Structure 1
Amino acid sequence: MPQLRNPAVTGTNVADGRAAAVPATPADAAQPGPTLKGVGSPPANGWSPAGIPANGWARLLLGLIIPAAVLAAWQLSTAAGVFSVVQLPPPSMVLEAGIDLLQRGQLGQHIAISTQRVLIGFAAGAALGLLFGSLVGLSRFADALLAPTIGALRAVPSLAWVPLLILWMKIGEDSKITLILIGAFFPVFTTVSLALRHVDRNLVEAARAFGLKGIKLLTTVQLPAVVPAVFSGLRLALAQAWLFLVAAELIASSMGLGFLLTDSQNNGRTDRLLLAIVLLAVIGKITDALLGLAEKWAVKRWA
């Protein structure tokens, strides 16, 4: 008499008189165990070491640690007499110098004229850098023709242009803005030209198959494909524009933060000199942060 076996144990099943093999589940198969709270799972808040960069307030507080430490060391060193007041005035004296210039109506003018020069020179230099960078990055003929000359001009120090610009454009605003333009041009040109050489060729060929070519192809496919690289060049160019501002305002200037630097040095006003340095750092960081917001929008829009 045939013995009937338990299908769950033997791994077989009886149906319509036929036996079908069914894979048996091992009794000791690994089963997902209970998850301990807080173990092996990412923290829910943004204050973990990995979550701090994603938390806006945490990033802000973290970024303020070093400036606060520098300010505290500055105050302590002046209070302890490590430096004389002429060498390094305390932060309170620098603040008083800023308030004095503000009450006279001069501080706002210095900031406004310098910011205007930087923005105009940066805009013109970035536009030219984008134009020539696109031309060199997309054309081998333009690369062979223009790249050696532009590379040689990029090696010329900023102050070397000052006498020539004074000779050509005198001491007006044109010479100052042109010098800032030169400083902003090269980072954008270099970044864009290199980035466009590495655009996916399959993407370009697909766009050409849809009838895109020339300027339409550049603005619709190629530049959007290198948006992060373009903004990296723009941010470098903006930093260069602020660096070239001081050299530009050496050209017989009577207003601006660069003028405030040199005038304070000539008159022995170290408090105003430090004030100009702090303002250049703060305003430069603000403009860079605004450009960073534009980069995030552009990446979401095109990249």
Structure 2
Amino acid sequence: MSLNSLVAADPGAVAVLRKPRPSVLRRLNRFLVAAQAWLLPLFLLFLWWFAAAHAWMAPQILPEPSLVFDTAMEMARNDLGSHILTSLSRLLLGLVPGVCLGLALALLLALNQRAGQLFTPLFALWSQVPNLVLIPVLMVFLGIGDNLKVVVILNAALIPMLVHAQAGLRDVPLSLREAARVLRLSFRQRLTRLYLPAALPAIMTGLRLSLSAAWTLLVVVELLASSQGIGYLMVWGRQMFQLDMVFVCIAVIGALGLGMELALQWLDQRVVRWPRPVLTRHTLRTPLNGAWPWVLPVLLLLLWWLATRLAWVDLHTVPSPLAVWQALQHGVADASLSAAMLHSLARYAQGLAWGIAAGLGLGLCCALSATLGRLFSPTLGVLRHIVIFAWLPLLTAWAGTGEAARILFIAIASFFPVFVATLRGVLNVSPQLLEAAQVMRLGSFKKLRWLLLPGAASSIFAGLRLALMYGWLATIGAEYFMASSIGIGSLMINAQQLMSVDIIFAGMLLVSLTGAALNLFGQYLEHRLQGWRHI
């Protein structure tokens, strides 16, 4: 039988003999590659269902996925929306003025040399004070109402915008400034046509970091002291052992955080159409030449002393500088402050080591293996948008409030910045270098040792510096929420309950100095290990 007669008899038979079109194969391959990103979430969902169905943990601690879904539907019909609106309104009330004030101060400090000399050292010192340690102090003055939450969020949004906007304004090319002078542009024209457009990428970076910091502090302050809001729902669900509510709240916090991040990315792409700076953290450059930088800090210290000396303020809420100094001395003499700080540093070092090791290892694995990258990176990329403190109710229910749980929490906080920085750093290594490695036939170990790690070093060290700070903040937060018997965070919370404001101020000073020392240590380590870049 000829081929033509076979086709005439059964046209479908020839379709079996034909090879699939290349476009079909490409579509199938793209589908299979995209499907790999869903394998880990589906496996975790199956593991969750299997563990709950076989009672690996008590139902009060690990509810079934179906129960969580039903709870979400019920909460959506009742008061979940009102709690979300309450949290978002607090966020806006603190974020908008914080961002505007930060931008205004950045313009002042960058465009006025004298103002920069006067105020930059003060804000550089203030940026070293973690927002978490301000909460016990502000509780003394503002109570636990909405004023506390708005002020904390405002301060959290102020510093990132101030630092990045000032860096962007300071880095406007000198040639453009000279061109503006030659054209005799007015100050308003220079501001709207030169400085703000040139600094817009840095301003958008500051806005994203301000939003992230404000969202984190909102969740923290609602967990600590609130009667409404998404954080309050989490605390209430944890206290009632209704962890299905906690799961719903964590999902809502992650979805809102991811949605706000995507909205800002869309806005960034719409308004900035020129090269953007790397999303990293700048520091305020502090000019310490001459006496001008010290004028304002000395004046504020003198004003503080006069206010307490002349009884302009209540000494029960604002201690004198001498009282804070004496509290420091007594705390060191009776070992209350020194022992608390040593215990905090010990658990910080343990959690930091675990978090950095896990982040560096998994980041390298996901960068070097495309399959592992497709499996883990999308899921971890979504999870990192969940505020780290939102995991506390689940962590305390599953792991308790002991030392192991605190160390685990610190490790989680340190993990994500190192993982993301390592993954991005290795993936962004120059293709020319990779081609050179192939030409030289470098083995896997030599390629990693001599090419990938040095090429990704800047990104990795940026992640390590963030991990140093996030781990320290997580240490203080763990001692706030996990009822640590000893630690600098527990000492400050206990002092706030006893209205011992001198101890609160002394603890805040120690925590701030430790954070500044950790930041300097990160810079020193980066400079020493990357000395070859400065040759």
- 1:272 and 2:503 matched: yes
Structure 2 match to 1:83? 313
| Correspondent of 1:125 among 355, 359, 363 | 355
Structure 2 CA distance for aligned equivalents of residues 129 and 119 of structure 1: 15
**Alpha-carbon offset, residue 268 of structure 1:** 0.9
Unaligned stretches of 5+ in structure 2?
A: 1-285
Structure 2 CA distance for aligned equivalents of residues 212 and 141 of structure 1: 22
Query: Contact 2:484 / 2:490 at 8 angstroms: preserved in 1?
Result: yes
Query: Contact 2:365 / 2:372 at 8 angstroms: preserved in 1?
Result: yes
Query: Contact 1:253 / 1:259 at 8 angstroms: preserved in 2?
Result: yes
Change beyond 3 A, Cα 1:118–1:71: farther
Structure 2 CA distance for aligned equivalents of residues 61 and 114 of structure 1: 37
Structure 2 match to 1:136? 366
Structure 2 CA distance for aligned equivalents of residues 133 and 62 of structure 1: 46
Structure 1 CA distance for aligned equivalents of residues 290 and 527 of structure 2: 18
| Correspondent of 1:230 among 429, 446, 460 | 460
Query: Contact 2:425 / 2:455 at 8 angstroms: preserved in 1?
Result: no
Query: Contact 2:425 / 2:458 at 8 angstroms: preserved in 1?
Result: no
| Correspondent of 1:259 among 456, 480, 490 | 490
What aligned pairs does 1:29-68 form with structure 2 within 5 A after superposition? 58=288, 68=298
Q: Percent identity?
A: 30
Letter in 2 for 1:277: M
Letter in 2 for 1:101: G
Structure 1 match to 2:519? 288
Structure 1 CA distance for aligned equivalents of residues 349 and 296 of structure 2: 28
**Alpha-carbon offset, residue 178 of structure 1:** 0.7
Query: Contact 1:126 / 1:185 at 8 angstroms: preserved in 2?
Result: yes
Structure showing greater Rg:
1
Query: Contact 2:469 / 2:518 at 8 angstroms: preserved in 1?
Result: no
**Alpha-carbon offset, residue 207 of structure 1:** 2.0
Query: Contact 1:224 / 1:302 at 8 angstroms: preserved in 2?
Result: no
Structure 1 CA distance for aligned equivalents of residues 490 and 290 of structure 2: 32
String of CA shifts for 1:245-282, please: whole Å, max 9, x gaps: 12211312011111111111111111111111111110
String of CA shifts for 1:15-63, please: whole Å, max 9, x gaps: xxxxxxxxxxxxxxxxxxxxxxxxxxxxxxxxxxxxxxxxx99579998
Change beyond 3 A, Cα 1:190–1:76: farther
Structure 2 CA distance for aligned equivalents of residues 144 and 173 of structure 1: 34
What aligned pairs does 1:119-268 form with structure 2 within 5 A after superposition? 119-249=349-479, 250-268=481-499
Which has the higher mean CA deviation after the structures are superposed, 124-133 or 71-80? 71-80
Query: Contact 1:113 / 1:256 at 8 angstroms: preserved in 2?
Result: yes
Query: Contact 2:425 / 2:457 at 8 angstroms: preserved in 1?
Result: no
Matched residue SS, 1:199:
coil
- 1:104 and 2:330 matched: no
Structure 1 CA distance for aligned equivalents of residues 438 and 291 of structure 2: 49
Which has the higher mean CA deviation after the structures are superposed, 151-160 or 259-268? 151-160
Unaligned stretches of 5+ in structure 1?
A: 1-55
Change beyond 3 A, Cα 1:280–1:143: same
- 1:298 and 2:492 matched: no
Structure 1 CA distance for aligned equivalents of residues 353 and 518 of structure 2: 13
Query: Contact 1:158 / 1:247 at 8 angstroms: preserved in 2?
Result: no
Letter in 1 for 2:333: Q
Structure 1 match to 2:83? none
Q: TM-score, normalised by structure 1?
A: 0.73
Query: Contact 1:246 / 1:258 at 8 angstroms: preserved in 2?
Result: yes
Query: Contact 2:287 / 2:293 at 8 angstroms: preserved in 1?
Result: no
String of CA shifts for 1:71-101, please: whole Å, max 9, x gaps: 3443344345443212221211111111122
Query: Contact 1:111 / 1:256 at 8 angstroms: preserved in 2?
Result: yes
Letter in 2 for 1:204: L
**Alpha-carbon offset, residue 216 of structure 1:** 3.4
String of CA shifts for 1:192-235, please: whole Å, max 9, x gaps: 21122211111122123333243432232111112122111111
CA RMSD in angstroms comes to 2.6
Structure 2 CA distance for aligned equivalents of residues 59 and 141 of structure 1: 54
Structure 2 match to 1:49? none
Which has the higher mean CA deviation after the structures are superposed, 263-272 or 125-134? 125-134
